[in-house]
Structure 1
Amino acid sequence: MLYKIAKAVVSIIFYPLYRIQVIGKENIPQKGAVLLCSNHISNLDPPVVGITSTRDIYFMAKGELFENPFLGKLLTGIHAFPVKRGLRDRNALRKGLEILAEGKTLGLFPEGTRSKTGKIQEPLAGAGFFALRSDAQVVPCAIIGPYKPFKKLTVIYGKPIHMETYRMNKTSAKEVAQAIMDEIQRLIDSYHQEALLDK
């Protein structure tokens, strides 16, 4: 219930404030596990992905936030769970796999931290780990534009990335994470190319 309320409230504020444009919603599978991977340009990325996705999303959040009892309950209510940053947090990895095993949607920012320049950074292996260790469909997401009031912010959902070949070839988690980031970069490049053609 809290998740739906929060999504409604944030939508009312964010859609007009950032003139959010969503492309490719139909690419998000409506059934089965989904690993939704996005670039990371702002602390506001999680709520933006949350309100533009057609699925409820479970996100990892830094463990320190859960130390505050009130904030911890709030974050849990909106489907966030703790992860110890900078460490191989087995509990967080296990929780992520459980979410996918239950046919839900796990949201990740493969870069791990926000890009200060807005350009794609080298990813951590986490996204590849979840992609290879689960049967989830991997959906790339690109967030484009400045987080400035009344300036257009675009969110693009690409078609699911087929993981069968990577799994069969026993590709490393790091390489799979890079392949996912490459697809996100492709979405960004395609958007900019189309914008130039429209001018």
Structure 2
Amino acid sequence: MIRLKNILARVYTVYGLSVFLITFLVMLLPMWIVSLLPEPRRTRWFFVLARGWMKVFMPLVFCPVRRKGLEYFEPGVNYIVVCNHNSLMDVPVTTPGVPGLNKTLAKIEMARIPLFGIMYRIGSVLVDRQDEQSRRNSYEQMKEVLAMGMHMILYPEGTRNKTGQPLKSFYDGAFSLAIDTQRPIMPAVLFHTRKILPPGRIFYALPHRIDFHFLPPIQTQGLGKDDMPALKERVFRIMWDYIEKVNG
């Protein structure tokens, strides 16, 4: 039975990669044209393309996305969306799945990938984590994204959670940004992306439904730098408890 599952997982991986490459090639020219536009038109048209792409791609690979909690997004308010990070599937779900225009923080190496990097250059604030000046610049760019009325999507765990725990410990960045800009934090939780691409498995994937849940926002107005540790702990506990509740 295990051997059969391994064979099916690899057959599915070939299928999923084939669908991705075919649909990506269809999107490549429009993405390149959009990359030439100024902001915010560039991001606006990018999302038209990205959402259309994922509405086709995700059902084709038998990974439908179900969202819950969209009512928490108040019209005219932009949020710092903090999300758990379990899989390489997370970004294709979160970027088009968060309503409205948004950007995420991404490693600069992703933008250097031939062709594929176009999407990261449009849809992300890029950072070289080994360069202190790059980290400072990315922080200021995230403030500019928020000032333009877009959401910022951040993964406070920093890297993918490959542990058996609901969450890894959080870094400070998202919470410092929320306090500095006085923007509300929107906790968000992804379920089942790790089942699609299990950690530690090479060329192995299985289809599964994805659930993307948004939780009630947390206001930061009036908070100062001294409040950052308590804010971080509060968000961590809310997300941890919610994951455990849903997973039973």
TM over 0.5: yes
Structure 1 counterpart of 2:209, one-letter code: K
With over 3 angstroms needed to count, the CA separation of the structure-2 counterparts of 1:86 and 1:159, relative to structure 1, is farther
The answer to whether the aligner puts 1:124 opposite 2:171 as a matched pair is yes
**Separation in structure 2 between the aligned mates of residue 169 and residue 48 of structure 1, nearest angstrom:** 32
Which of 49, 52, 59 is matched with 1:5 structurally?
49
Structure 1 counterpart of 2:144, one-letter code: E
Do 1:142 and 1:188's aligned partners in 2 also have CA atoms closer than 8 Å?
A: yes
1:129 to partner: Cα distance: 1.1
The answer to whether the aligner puts 1:189 opposite 2:244 as a matched pair is yes
Which structure is higher in strand share? 1
- TM (norm. structure 1) is 0.84
**Tell me, which stretches of 5 or more residues in structure 1 are unaligned?**
194-199
**Structure 2 partner of 1:18:** 63
The answer to whether the aligner puts 1:177 opposite 2:232 as a matched pair is yes
1:53 to partner: Cα distance: 1.8
Do 1:142 and 1:156's aligned partners in 2 also have CA atoms closer than 8 Å?
A: yes
Do 2:50 and 2:96's aligned partners in 1 also have CA atoms closer than 8 Å?
A: no
Runs of 4+ in 1 over 6 A off after TM superposition: none
Which structure 2 residues correspond to residues 102-117 of structure 1 after superposition, within 5 A? 102-117=148-163
1:149 to partner: Cα distance: 4.1
Do 1:111 and 1:123's aligned partners in 2 also have CA atoms closer than 8 Å?
A: yes
**Structure 2 partner of 1:140:** 187
- TM (norm. structure 2) is 0.69
Greater relative contact order (Cα < 8 A, sep 6+): 1
**Structure 1 partner of 2:217:** 160
The structure with more radius of gyration:
2
With over 3 angstroms needed to count, the CA separation of the structure-2 counterparts of 1:43 and 1:104, relative to structure 1, is same
Which structure is higher in helix share? 2
With over 3 angstroms needed to count, the CA separation of the structure-2 counterparts of 1:163 and 1:186, relative to structure 1, is farther
Percent identity, please: 20
**Separation in structure 2 between the aligned mates of residue 57 and residue 37 of structure 1, nearest angstrom:** 12
* Farther off after superposition, 99-108 or 26-35: 26-35
**Separation in structure 2 between the aligned mates of residue 68 and residue 46 of structure 1, nearest angstrom:** 16
**Separation in structure 1 between the aligned mates of residue 73 and residue 92 of structure 2, nearest angstrom:** 17
Structure 1 counterpart of 2:226, one-letter code: K
**Separation in structure 2 between the aligned mates of residue 103 and residue 162 of structure 1, nearest angstrom:** 17
